[in-house]
Amino acid sequence: MARFLILTTFTSQEARLTHRSAHRAHLRDLVDAGTLLMAGPFDDQSGGVQIFEANDETEVQELMAKDPFTIEGVFATINIRSWTVVAGS
């Protein structure tokens, strides 16, 4: 298993707020499955961060494609980065 850091930006606050409850339900499902380690918006609400544990980037892309924010066009950008943890858990 590898860790992936996903950096996103939002198209608009209106779209974000409209679809936030579905997005958060999706995130809870991923946490329950052990795939999503943590997630949350930036303080300025311009985007957010998600940290996944997955087999490969393709798996993360598939999970992000199922996110209501992706489906509804809330994410303006999605940047998936493979990440090596050298300190902390």
User: Which of 77, 78, 76, 47 minimizes the C-alpha distance to 61?
Assistant: 78
Q: Which residue's entry shows tokens 């809330």? A: 74
Identify the helix (H) or strand (E) that includes residue 21.
helix 13-32
pTM greater than 0.85 (yes/no): yes
How far apart are the C-alpha atoms of 52 and 33, rounded to whole Å?
Answer: 11
Predicted pLDDT of residue 68: 98
Number of domains in the chain: 1
Q: Are 3 and 52 in contact (CB under 8 A)?
A: yes
Q: In the structure, what pLDDT confidence band is assigned to residue 88 with cuts at 50, 70 and 90?
A: confident
User: Which of 34, 32, 84, 77 minimizes the C-alpha distance to 59?
Assistant: 34
Residue 89 lies in a domain: no
Domain that includes residue 17, residue range: 2-42+55-83
Residue 89 has pLDDT above 90, yes or no: no
Residue 47 lies in a domain: no
CATH of the domain at 12: 3.30.70.1060
User: pLDDT (tens digit, 9 = 90+) per residue, 35-80?
Assistant: 999 999 999 999 999 999 999 999 999 999 999 999 999 999 999 9
Q: In the structure, what pLDDT confidence band is assigned to residue 22 with cuts at 50, 70 and 90?
A: very high
